[in-house]
């Protein structure tokens, strides 16, 4: 808040939500923002703060609307696991070992297009849990699917990087990031 202020010096308008007790977890925070009057649209975006990406948000939103989805999760293929994996036999003997393999399944990149129905589901989960965190990916998306709401995955090949920790941040190449995010033109 000290650095960005109201956003006017950057040509944008920034409003802040204050964390309140009883709204823990990624979904609880979203409900808190809504209850503070900062979400007033039927469709809105959630972009996790530790993600860097050049994803085309317009394409994600258009896909979300085209599918008439309640939730659309931006996903990428080819995620490289940071540790090695092994296949074991029944006795625990390693049959093969693959160091830092790429997943063949789509993974969430922390960017979602959501419909206001999601807020109702979060409120219902909050009331049923009474206390504790409510996670958008771990609690809300499974509940939406269970209730039969249309939840879609939007596969993107755009650049994304999960900063997530100081170690991951320190591995970033400023020149690569500048180029991929459009700050440097070839």
% of residues, the chain, pLDDT over 90: 62
Residue 69 lies in a domain: yes
Residue 127 lies in a domain: yes
Provide the CB-side half-sphere exposure for 131 (13 A, CA): 0
Instruction: Show the domain range for 35.
Output: 8-180
pLDDT confidence band for 74 (50 / 70 / 90): very high
Residue 134 lies in a domain: yes
Instruction: Report which secondary-structure segment, H or E, holds 179.
Output: helix 174-180
% of residues, the chain, pLDDT over 70: 95
Domains of the chain: total: 1
Residue 105 lies in a domain: yes
- Sign (positive or negative) of CA dihedral 17, 60, 9, 162: positive
pLDDT of residue 183: 63
pTM, two decimals, is 0.82
pLDDT, one tens digit per residue, over 81-121 is 889 999 999 999 999 999 998 888 999 999 999 999 999 99
Residue 92 lies in a domain: yes
Residue 116 lies in a domain: yes
Residue 155 lies in a domain: yes
pLDDT of residue 171: 75
Rounded to the nearest integer, the mean pLDDT of the chain is: 89
Burial (CB < 10 A; 0-12, 13-18, 19+), residue 186, is exposed
Output b/e per residue, 70-81; b: 16+ Cβ within 10 A.
bbbbbbbeebee
Residue 94 lies in a domain: yes
CATH code of the domain in which 88 resides: 3.90.550.10
pLDDT confidence band for 30 (50 / 70 / 90): very high
């Amino acid at each position: 808040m000290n650095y960005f202020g109201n956003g006017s010096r950057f040509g944008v308008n920034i409003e802040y939500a204050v964390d309140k007790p009883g709204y823990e977890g990624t979904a609880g925070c979203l409900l808190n923002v809504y209850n503070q009057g900062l979400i007033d649209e039927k469709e809105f975006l959630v972009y996790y703060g530790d993600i860097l990406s050049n994803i085309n948000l317009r394409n994600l939103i258009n896909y979300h609307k085209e599918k008439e989805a309640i939730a659309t999760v931006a996903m990428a293929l080819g995620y490289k696991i940071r540790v090695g994996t092994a296949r074991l036999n029944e006795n625990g003997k390693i049959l093969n070992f693959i160091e830092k393999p790429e997943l063949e399944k789509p993974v969430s990149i922390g960017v979602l297009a959501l419909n206001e129905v999601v807020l109702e589901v979060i409120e219902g989960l909050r009331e049923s849990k009474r206390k504790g965190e409510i996670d958008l990916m771990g609690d809300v998306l499974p509940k939406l699917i269970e209730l039969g709401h249309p939840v879609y995955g939007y596969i993107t090949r755009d650049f994304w990087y999960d900063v997530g920790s100081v170690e991951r941040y320190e591995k970033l190449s400023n020149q690569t990031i500048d180029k991929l995010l459009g700050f440097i033109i070839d």
